[in-house]
Amino acid sequence: MQTLTTTSLQIRDNQLWILDQQALPQQKIWCPTPDVATLVDHIQTLRVRGAPLIGLSASLLLALLAEGGMPKPALSEALTVLRAARPTAVNLMNNLDRMKAALAAADHVSALVNEALRLVAEDNALCERIADAGLPLVPPGSRLLTHCNTGGLATAGVGTALGVIARAHQQGRIAQVWVGETRPLLQGGRLTAWELGELGVPLRLITDSMAASLMARGEVDAVWVGADRIAANGDVANKIGTYSLAVLAHYHGVPFYVAAPQTTLDRACPDGNAIPIEQRAASEVTGVAGSFGHVQWAPASTPVYNPAFDVTPAALISGWVLDSGVVTPAQVQAGAFRP
């Protein structure tokens, strides 16, 4: 396969390499990913994360395995295992459905390689169109609040919500970005703060519990988040804490926007109640671990509830910013996302 480089994925020497997002921002480590078990581990430990990027990494690995001579039955089994690696993010399923169709082709090796590269190119283009669609919603002098990480680390391009913010910054429209730390694993504090800093976007990091006070003081003009799955009724699954921000924004009259590619739509999912929510390890709440070591702040035996995602009802969302354009609440109520 041709050499390929995105912010978080590389193809070189006929192997997939993953930028270890657990090690950021202290270290920039590229991890070799030669087989399915390794990639599943990368996905479940969040070395690779972001709904679009997870789907792309799985697709690229399948193509590389096919080029390496893996027979069709083994590729089919690999696809099944990868599909189950992350239950909430629907991009993984959507991408692998396309790879499954390519696997059925007579020349399945070429079909898989071409489809994987097509998915990467499409995601890059989707990000650009999302940024274009979202830009008019960001007036000059905007003070925005974002959650988790939705930039180039999570996609093949400029990102979704962060792509809009980066485009607005290039146009001189950003006065301030409030970055929620985003528990568990502090992906806002570790990744978004680093990424916005690299882009020169003015930012201030806050704990997740500070958003309400900022909105009450009138210091947030809009909230921008991404999505891991959008149901047919417009409900959105995203990193835990997104629903809280939507409730706060609604109470304070602050617009709440979801930026995502159409690959995040799940038209077969009727509403948020049907979205599976991944539960993560208790150790992510009772302490913290990373390239810096491990710190335990709660008793190791403490019972923990640790969902990775929550669901924001469509009624709390001001607009869905897709690569096809901005979808309004009225359009969603009229069935814009339904089959």
Can you read off the two tokens belonging to residue 214?
Answer: 């900022």
Give me the residues of the chain with pLDDT under 50, please: none
Question: For position 201, what pLDDT does the model report?
Answer: 98
Superfamily of domain 138-333: Translation initiation factor eif-2b; domain 2 (3.40.50.10470)
Q: How many CA atoms lie within 13 A of 94 on its CB side?
A: 23
> Cβ(143)–Cβ(176) under 8 Å?
yes
Please say if 228 is a catalytic residue: yes
Check residue 2 and give its pLDDT: 86
Q: Is 309 helix (H, G, I), strand (E, B) or coil?
A: strand
Nearest CA-CA partner of 82 in 18, 117, 38: 38
Catalytic residue of the set 20, 208, 228, 266: 228
DSSP letter for each residue of 15-45:
EEEEE-TTTTTT---EEEE-SHHHHHHHHHT
Q: Supply the pLDDT for residue 291.
A: 65
In whole angstroms, what is the distance from residue 197 CA to residue 146 CA?
14
Distance CA 225, CA 240 (A): 11
Q: Any idea how long the chain is?
A: 339
- What pLDDT shows up at residue 108? 98
Q: What is the pLDDT of residues 7-45, one digit of tens each?
A: 999 999 999 999 999 899 989 999 999 999 999 999 999
Domain boundaries, the chain: 4-128, 138-333
Instruction: Identify the pLDDT of residue 293.
Output: 77
**Per the structure block, which two tokens stand in for 135?**
């830009």
Instruction: Tell me the whole-structure pTM to 2 decimals.
Output: 0.93
Measured on CA atoms in the order 62, 267, 163, 25, is the torsion positive or negative?
negative
Superfamily of chain region 4-128: translation initiation factor eif-2b, domain 1 (1.20.120.420)
The β-bridge relationship of strands 236-239 and 309-312 is antiparallel
Same topology between domain 4-128 and domain 138-333? no
